[in-house]
Amino acid sequence: MSDFTFLTEEQCFGDDGLDIFKKRGSKAAITDFAILIGGYVSNDHINSDDSLEGRTGYYWTKSDDENNGVCIVDTRGNKISYDVNSRRDYGARIALPFLKVGSIPTNGKSGKRARDGIFEVEYGYYPQKAVSKNIQEKLEIAYKNDTIVKTSNRYTTDSIPPYNMDKLFQPQTHQEYEYKGKKYVRVKANLGYATFTLSNKESYNEGDIVWVEVSPVKWLVDEKANIITTEKIVFSGVKFNKEKNYKTSDFDKTNIKTFIDKYFSKDLEQSISKEGLGKISEMEEITEEVPNPRKSRLQKLNPDKTKPENRTKMTDTEIIQNWIEAGESVLLRGPSGIGKTERIKALYPDLIYIKLTNNMFPEKVVGSVNLQTGQSIPPDFAKTAIMQEATEEERKLIEENIQNIYDIADEVYERSKDSSKKVVIMLDELLNVKPAVQALVYTLVLNRMVEIGKGLKLPENVVVVATGNQKKYSVVAEDLAEPLEKRFDHILDMEPKVGEWITEYAIPQKIHPAVIGYILSKYNSSDKSEDIEDIGYFYEEPEVGEEHLDANGCKGRTNDPRGWTSISNTIYNFERNLEAGKYKGRNVEDIIKRSIESKLRMEWASEFFDFYNLPTLTPEEVEKGMGKGYTQADLPKNISERFSYMTALITANEGQVEACREFIRKYCDPEYLSIYDIYWAGNDERKMEKISELQDMSISLHTSQEAEKYAEDGAKVYADIGKMYSEHLTRNSKEINSKKIRGKENERN
């Protein structure tokens, strides 16, 4: 029996956990090889560069959960536990105890200490990273021409598909080949997904051939606990155990320990067994004291004690608001339809809006002079800004004689210095007007003044925000004069980020569930969905040239936020007409298809229709089926269908929602409940109260693993949607409870 083992629950979590986890966290990246042989991979990242190589997976511990199950470390480094012994999509992060520093095995090198003080060694060789497309093609040609060299090494894995929980271990071997001094294995993808993208940014389907490089395995040394553990999850696809009832003391008898001893340990060391293992000397770098790292300026100034890995980035909207609240002017640049203007209007509903056009009268911006009296007349926006901050008496004086505004403006200016309220003046389409029009707002942006008469000073709490398109997005866009551009405190080049649109607009505005479900399912299965707030473009960057035109010789329509909102409206209108019987005797599929094709680029229109029209159950069918059961044909078969079912059941009434939630929990996945609850409840207090009751029931009735998944709002792309909206639901739930308490007090009185 080998000394290879798994970590315990205590080593992974809490105050007594390993020092290496206190510095880096207990979540672990998963190798491409582990994904290809069936491992689950999340869209969370652990690397600062957010590379695909940093995505995380689940891995086993050796500890039982005191309820016949196994403790697992999930994709975010949290503990989950339930009866999952038969699952194949969880992976292995191997551990190896050592007696003293000099007994730590290596491939012959001493290892090195990382910046965070953790000592790292390389020990053993194993397939890990998928090769690039270019190398893949060369290796496949050499393989087919029989010009590639076989080595004596082989790597054994389970051949059973990861979604098959019943069959026992059936070994398969992966032959190692040598090509130009490097080692590779040829793997037939045994994925748990219909398609997936690996760290080489190439997408693969189940059954595809992928070449994976064999490379040294990196281990992290915990000097206090005398144990080393692999940095990444190195293999998956193997059942933990065929027996359901598990105790920690039974670990050495489990199927996975048998696999480690019989296959993995030998596979890991086969390349170095010919050379002999290296050892770390007692006197080498590992024994050296690591000086306390110097604190950066931000570390000294920041009172926040939140762990760095738990901190989140500000969304574009949040950072824009942060600048405005600091009194700093902002220029927002980006393509049309991504919500530049709308998000500012949402933040500041009382903003003063100025739409700039090439044929506008200059007096709308700089004011005018009455030719008969010689009096200066300020522009309407300036009057509005001052009137907003003026007292009732001051407003009357301005209405009596506009010339009074100049004296009152000075008083308002001084008084507004102490105001926490921000008055936003929005200059829309600044980049889409000629330089002559742009020049009109120079003084406004620079000094928050209007140069009319003796000069009209706007309140100190006025903030100027401007919007426009860059030239690559608009043929009518103009360059901003350099002096004016430099007067803006911040310039933000914005992209149409799907995640922000969903959380900040689509859900609150009740965009059609099919639109949200389609977008989430599309991006969840691509390398664009590493983080909900950074999903990126709604559409691919437009291609140019005749070869990229559609069948009608036109460019594909871009699918921006404004376009998706329009599609949502089209679907709602179509469904209302359909239910009202307006399409009697008509081909309704053709009607909605043509409506979608008129809005979506051709290559997406058919795909979106197929998603929209997926066969799902209605809330009525779910309610009936809960007692009678379902056939296999009734259940969702893949991620697209799970999203489709979840969105289709949002139409449930209060009597059906409990059955629909249970269906989603059982047949889609508990993590889908968060977004379902958010969408179903909306801002309806009674529905929020209903969801709150059902959530309490769910937590008490279902397993701790499912409850924890729900509490975290899932480990995938919709997690941050749940995080954002859970605060909204919690706040409203508290208000509901307060009303209940006040109601009972009134009854007693």
Residue in the block written with tokens 């079912």? 645
Judge if 504 and 443 occupy the same domain. Answer: no
Let me know whether 44 and 61 are in one domain.
yes
Asked whether residue 262 falls in the same domain as residue 342, the answer is no
Query: Which CATH number fits the domain that encloses residue 393?
Result: 3.40.50.300
Helix ranges restricted to H, 328-376:
340-347, 363-366
Which residues have C-beta within 8 Å of that of residue 249, sequence separation ≥ 6? none
The reply to whether 628 falls in a domain is no
Whether residue 480 is found in the same domain as residue 509:
no
Q: Contact 649/655 with Cβ under 8 angstroms?
A: no
Q: Are residues 126 and 229 in the same domain?
A: yes
Q: Using CA atoms, how far apart are residues 672 and 695, in angstroms rounded to an integer?
A: 13
Q: What is the pLDDT of residue 192?
A: 66
Non-local CB neighbours of 291 within 8 Å, separated by 6+ positions: none
**631 within some domain:** no
- Give the DSSP letter of residue 462: E
- Residue at 623 is within a domain: no
Chosen domain end from 496, 530, 552: 496
Residues 489, 539 within the same domain: no
Residue 74 lies in a domain: yes
> Which residues make beta-bridge pairs with 195?
205
241: in domain: yes
List, as own/partner pairs, every contact residues 658-665 make where C-beta atoms lie below 8 angstroms and the sequence separation is at least 24, other chains included: 658/694, 659/619, 659/622, 659/623, 659/626, 660/619, 660/622, 660/623, 661/694, 661/698, 662/626, 663/617, 663/622, 663/625, 663/626, 665/698, 665/702, 665/706
Q: Do 353 and 465 contact (CB within 8 A), yes or no?
A: no
Domain that holds residue 576: 497-613
Does one domain contain both 239 and 257?
A: yes
* Domain-located, residue 601: yes
Residues 116 and 189 in one domain: yes
Asked if residue 79 is part of any domain, the answer here is: yes
* 438 and 513, same domain (yes or no): no
Domain assignment present for 269: yes
Q: Where among 242, 267, 287 does a domain terminate?
A: 287
Do 65 and 36 fall into the same domain? yes
Q: Where are the alpha helices (DSSP H) in 417-560?
A: 435-438, 442-447, 482-485, 498-501, 513-524
The tally of domains found in the chain comes to 3
Query: Of 549, 579, 613, at which residue does a domain stop?
Result: 613
Strands (E), 117-208: 119-130, 149-158, 171-179, 182-188, 195-197, 203-205
Residue 94 has a pLDDT of 96
Question: What's the chain's Rg over C-alpha atoms?
Answer: 31
pLDDT averaged over consecutive 10-residue blocks of the chain (749 residues)? 91 90 92 93 55 80 87 90 74 91 82 87 94 93 91 93 83 93 93 79 90 96 94 94 85 93 92 62 45 77 82 85 95 84 91 93 88 86 92 93 91 92 94 90 90 86 93 79 90 79 76 83 54 46 47 61 87 94 94 89 80 88 81 79 82 90 82 76 80 74 47 40 44 45 48
Does 519 share its domain with 468? no
Sheet strands (E) in 55-170 = 56-57, 59-64, 70-73, 79-82, 91-92, 95-97, 105-106, 112-113, 119-130, 149-158
- Pair type for strands 70-73 and 59-64: antiparallel
Question: Do 406 and 479 sit in the same domain of this protein?
Answer: yes
How high is the pLDDT of residue 725?
44
